Amino acid sequence: MAPITLNNGQPKEDTTPNYDVCENYDGKYRFAPIEESQVARAMIKRYFNTMYERAVSDVVIIGAGSAGLSCAWQLANMHPELKITIIEASVAPGGGAWLGGQLMSPMVVRKPADGFLRQLGVEYEDEGAFVVVKHAALFTSTLLSKVLAKPNVVMMNATAVEDLIIHEDFRGEQRVAGVVTNWTLVALNHDTQSCMDPNTITAPVIISATGHDGPMGAFSAKRLVSAGLKKELGNMRGLDMSRAEPAIVNSTREVVPGLIFAGMELSEHDGSNRMGPTFGAMIASGTKAAHVASGIFAS
């Protein structure tokens, strides 16, 4: 292998420990013996134990995009005692944050949200009012790995929230008390089968960060309207970076008891502008949602 060289042409000392999984590749490579059933049971046991345990959670975060993941990281740091369950409809978590925008990979983050990158240890170039991460996937993969490493966080991907649990208290006040889930492939096939009943997760705090409208997006905002808890959607307005970013962060809140909105879902709920490919507001909205949730537990 060619030696690694630094920008100044000097050879770099390679301090990487040698974790080579193979002593030789001469055709005698062997794995530890295993039965197929062991593999099946290793997965089934953990997956269904998680479902069983998280049927009652403290916080459910709907959507693992930049807002939902930023929220999960902040909340898990603030509250290691809370059972935080992330439900993500796609196979690949990360939402739109694998690319910076318009299918181009660098990610722009407006100040002061760059502090979050320092917290994560993600490097960037400083351009004055904003910073640029060389590839959005560096941000998303770092954040995702740190969130998933938290002992109190679990994520169920390829799982869609297809309804909200809404309870009425003795005063007649409606409160969001959980989510109704299904494997996404099942949720997408309700029209082709007669009845495929869903699962439920109850939690005192639901944080919805499902993004702006799309095949799955703005899920909870739309459900609030069809459930009669909101008259009509505000609908996302045109692009205006200067107005959109502070509007999203400042409007991050508990929209109905038990349900907090974060990220671009708020633009559909409130009728605020989109900001295009700049991610400071997603980070700041996610972290603010964590503080709002913390306040609910403190009250």
Binding interface with ligand AHZ (CB under 6 A): 62-68, 87-90, 95-97, 160-161, 209-212, 216-217, 219, 263-264, 274-276, 279, 282
Can you give the three-state secondary structure of the chain, one letter per residue? Answer: CCCCECCCCCECCCCCCCCCCCCCCCCCCCCCCCCHHHHHHHHHHHHHHHHHHHCECCEEEECCCHHHHHHHHHHHHHCCCCCEEEEECCCCCCHHHHCCECCECCEEEECCCHHHHHHHCCCCEECCCEEEECCHHHHHHHHHHHHHHCCCEEEEECEEEEEEEEEECCCCCEEEEEEEEEEHHHHCCCCCCCCCCCEEEECCEEEECCCCCCCCCCHHHHHHHHCCCCCCCCCCEEECHHHHHHHHHHHCEEEECCEEECCCHHHHHHCCEECCCECHHHHHHHHHHHHHHHHHHHC
Smallest distance, ligand AHZ to C-beta of residue 194, A? 22
Cα–Cα distance between 191 and 256 in angstroms, integer? 30
Q: Measured at CB, which residue is nearest to ligand AHZ?
A: 65
Report in angstroms how near the CB of residue 159 gets to ligand AHZ at its nearest: 7
User: Cβ 62 to ligand AHZ, closest distance in Å?
Assistant: 5
Smallest distance, Å, CB 222 to ligand AHZ?
Answer: 10
Smallest distance from the beta carbon of 29 to ligand AHZ, in angstroms?
A: 38
* Nearest distance in Å: CB 293, ligand AHZ: 16
What tokens appear for 184 in the block? Answer: 């996404």
Q: Which is nearer to ligand AHZ, 112 or 276 (CB)?
A: 276
Q: How near is the Cβ of 251 to ligand AHZ at its closest, in Å?
A: 13
Nearer to ligand AHZ, 58 or 285 (CB): 285
Q: How far apart are CA 209 and CA 69, in angstroms?
A: 9
> In the complex with ligand AHZ, which residue's Cβ is closer, 90 or 174?
90
**CA atoms of 184 and 136, how far apart (whole Å):** 25
Residue type, 122: V
Of residues 82 and 221, the one with the C-beta less far from ligand AHZ: 221
Nearer to ligand AHZ, 85 or 204 (CB): 85
When the beta carbons of 36 and 197 are compared against ligand AHZ, the nearer one is 197
Of the pair 65, 204, the CB lying nearest ligand AHZ is at 65
